[in-house]
Structure 1
């Protein structure tokens, strides 16, 4: 893969990381502890708040995992390994990398 294409992928990955950071900042309030005061919140409202909190926590975990994958992709760019399948060593298709720049396996190896 040529340097220009690697630079484009690096910029895209960095932009995705910035988006994830923004999403985390917006989702902070949803992860807050739900109050146990039954007088302030009815039982059903509290259950709804707990469900919303669980969804916010799951979203945070998903973003954390995606951030980890994207940082690993940046490390592969630095090491000259970006765009090559970690299983067979062949090049990962350009379309696959454009869809998911953190992909580590070619379509053949990913399908098993």
Structure 2
């Protein structure tokens, strides 16, 4: 089971890194030729740029969570809630392998 979760985390990490590489280009500053773009096109480009930056930040955060989960595996602390120390159900880990909290503790944080 643990090897399956590690493989799932490694696959998720690779996917996130791929997404970050794609988004990196889209987060570069928007340089528009004022003569060839209309006002709506400029606004659309700026909006797309902000969306890409937001997605980039999201994936960076998710990557950190996945890397921490892999570290917890290496430290033999994976699968236990960081708050209460209880074992996190396998079904929860199967859905979200990078999860750090059990359902009860997660609800207390939200």
Counterparts of residues 89-104 of structure 1 (less than 5 Å): 89-104=85-100
Provide the secondary structure at the position in 2 that maps to 1:63. Answer: helix
In 2, Cα distance between equivalents of 1:9 and 1:26: 26
Worse-superposed segment, 37-46 or 87-96: 37-46
Q: 1:88 aligns with which of 58, 62, 84?
A: 84
Q: Which residue of 1 aligns with 2:53?
A: 57
In 2, Cα distance between equivalents of 1:29 and 1:88: 41
Deviation above 3 Å: which 4+ runs of structure 1? Answer: none
Provide the secondary structure at the position in 2 that maps to 1:38. Answer: coil
In structure 2, the gaps of 5 or more residues are none
In 2, Cα distance between equivalents of 1:28 and 1:107: 34
**Relative contact order higher in (CA < 8 Å, ≥ 6 apart):** 2
Q: Which residue of 1 aligns with 2:74?
A: 78
TM-score, scaled to structure 2: 0.91
**Per-residue deviation, residues 26-63 of structure 1 (Å, max 9, x unmatched):** 22332232124311211110010000000011111000
